[in-house]
Structure 1
Amino acid sequence: MIEHRLLRSICHASVGTNDLTGAKLFYTPILAILGIELVSEYEHAVAYGKGYPEFWLQQPFDKKPATMGNGVHFGFVALSKKQVDDFYHCAIALGGRCNGEPGARPEYGDPYYGCFIIDLDGNRIEASYWQVTEK
């Protein structure tokens, strides 16, 4: 078995939230669609991943209000177009805002199929599926 750290280029990513409880209620079901689970939980933060904390939601360490970064977004791996569609519809039902409906984006290449969401704190997230065909 390959050590999980050898398969990653980034240890983890974090986004701030002003409502940790609300953010957890938003992210837990949409990430579950992609097979991503809640793996760590603290008073000030929660972490999701596939057995390892890769994506964190947290109250800012400096105790100032969380803000989103313009141009920053986090993309999650989907294993099918259906997962992308389900991620999108679940996120919208939980109060997320559409930032790009599910579909192909020719500007990203033929294999790409994805959707874009703005979460409850204004963070931009994506689920994408890359249909790579063997040659």
Structure 2
Amino acid sequence: MSQTTDDIPSIISHISVGTNKLEDALNFYDKVLATIGASRQEEVPEIAVAYGKRFPEFWVQIPYNQKPAQVANGVHFGFIAPSQEAVHAFYDTAIELGAICDGKPGPRPEYGAPYYGCFVRDLDGHKIEAAFWDESKM
């Protein structure tokens, strides 16, 4: 059965981030992404792991060209959180595992009244976000 574009929940197929410390990164993302209901969906031993809820959406991997992973200025990866409590769990777990705060959990009116989120830098310095969109505030 084929899908129409209206049936597909996102415009993103997947994204990938490079890491210089694969095992550390996988330990970090196993725990942090579990706070929003995501888990390992696919694995390529010693190279990459993909996380998601139903299919591989977010890959953590050794760079394909075998050169050191780098962080891109102006790039961040946002994850959907099911609640404000999940945003806090994402943030707290990430910080406990060595992430750096880049914006504590809370509302950000400049993003719209329904937005509630947080930002951290992962172990490689990638900026990641968890955000809850409270449709009751629209």
Per the normalisation by structure 2, the TM-score is 0.92
Partners of 1:27 and 1:12 in 2: how far apart?
16
Q: Do the aligned partners of 2:114 and 2:137 also contact (CA within 8 Å) in 1?
A: no
Partners of 1:134 and 1:64 in 2: how far apart?
45
Q: Residue in 2 aligned with 1:51?
A: 54
Note the aligned Cα RMSD (angstroms): 1.8
Query: One-letter code of the match for 1:56?
Result: W
Please report how far the alpha carbon of residue 131 of structure 1 lies from its aligned counterpart in structure 2 after TM superposition: 0.5
Query: One-letter code of the match for 2:41?
Result: V
SS in structure 2 opposite 1:88? helix
Q: Residue in 1 aligned with 2:134?
A: 131
Please report how far the alpha carbon of residue 8 of structure 1 lies from its aligned counterpart in structure 2 after TM superposition: 2.2
Please report how far the alpha carbon of residue 97 of structure 1 lies from its aligned counterpart in structure 2 after TM superposition: 0.4
Please report how far the alpha carbon of residue 114 of structure 1 lies from its aligned counterpart in structure 2 after TM superposition: 0.2
Gaps of 5+ in 1: none
Segments of 4+ moved more than 4 angstroms? 2-5
SS in structure 2 opposite 1:28? helix
Closer/same/farther in 2, CA of residues 40 and 9 from structure 1, 3 Å limit: same
State the percentage of identical aligned residues.
52
Partners of 1:7 and 1:95 in 2: how far apart?
32
Partners of 1:30 and 1:128 in 2: how far apart?
13
Q: Spell out the pairing of 1:51-130 with structure 2 (5 A cutoff).
A: 51-130=54-133
Partners of 1:21 and 1:111 in 2: how far apart?
36
Per the normalisation by structure 1, the TM-score is 0.94
Gaps of 5+ in 2: none
Question: How many residue pairs were aligned?
Answer: 134
Closer/same/farther in 2, CA of residues 80 and 95 from structure 1, 3 Å limit: same
